[in-house]
Amino acid sequence: MSNSPDLDSLVQQMAKLPGLGPRSARRAVLQLVKKKESALLPMISALQRVADTMATCEACGNIDTQNPCHICTDPRRDARTLCVVEDVADLWALERGGHWRGRYHVLGGKLSALDGVRPEDLSIEPLVRRVVQAKTASPPLEEVVLAVGATLEGQTTAHYVADQLADLGVILSTLAHGVPVGGELDYLDEGTLTLALRARRPIE
């Protein structure tokens, strides 16, 4: 503890962040306050800008500072391919890989009997509507890649989504092996993820 309630409260907020325990949070706060001009003030203005402009993209579910997001509005993105991911973190991981040129659709989680996540809790219905619409767009949507984790729940989700899209006349594919069983996409290195995406295979 620092003897300052304000500093302690900042440390507590920081310690809630993933990957930061109380010890790392104290070090981060100390670094920020020691370097007020070069670290703390730029951090405050960056946080404020994001807080003012942050939005969830109505089209794909990405989190961005504009709605529709930068990816959905980028004319260079290939409208013929759509990559379905569980979470925004997975979208960001694929973008870091830098090889996916299509657009995305974020489900917002995965089906889980254990956690009580049902199909209607995820963005599946909007995905079906989007695919139906995109089929008649120019150029038309041709392929949907189900890029979900190789966990039991991820695979259950992929099969459910594939069933919903089965009769819509698009190619359905999934990530190649190389995604470790039990693996969450966000934890894969970008190279593995890119390879798995390139070597994607049709869903049986």
Q: Smaller CB distance to Zn ion: residue 29 or 94?
A: 94
Burial of 175 (0-12, 13-18, 19+ CB in 10 A): buried
Q: Smaller CB distance to Zn ion: residue 77 or 159?
A: 77
Kindly state the smallest distance separating residue 57's Cβ from Zn ion, in Å: 3
Q: Smaller CB distance to Zn ion: residue 7 or 63?
A: 63
Kindly state the smallest distance separating residue 118's Cβ from Zn ion, in Å: 24
Give the helix/strand (H/E) hosting 39: none
Kindly state the smallest distance separating residue 91's Cβ from Zn ion, in Å: 9
What does the alpha-carbon distance between residue 26 and residue 173 come to, in Å, rounded to a whole number? 46
Kindly state the smallest distance separating residue 66's Cβ from Zn ion, in Å: 9
Is the torsion defined by CA of 7, 12, 16, 21 positive or negative? positive
Q: Residue 84 — φ and ψ, nearest 5°?
A: -95, 125
Q: Smaller CB distance to Zn ion: residue 13 or 73?
A: 73
What are 121's two structure tokens? 């809790």
Q: Which residues of this chain interact with Zn ion, rule CB under 5 A? A: 57, 59-60, 62, 68-69, 72
Q: Smaller CB distance to Zn ion: residue 86 or 153?
A: 86
- The three-class DSSP label of residue 173 is strand
Q: Smaller CB distance to Zn ion: residue 26 or 103?
A: 103
Burial of 7 (0-12, 13-18, 19+ CB in 10 A): middle
Kindly state the smallest distance separating residue 56's Cβ from Zn ion, in Å: 9
Kindly state the smallest distance separating residue 123's Cβ from Zn ion, in Å: 12
Dmax (CA) for the chain in angstroms is 64
Exposure string over 62-88, b if 16+ CB within 10 A, otherwise e: bbbeebebebbeeeebebbbbbbbbbb
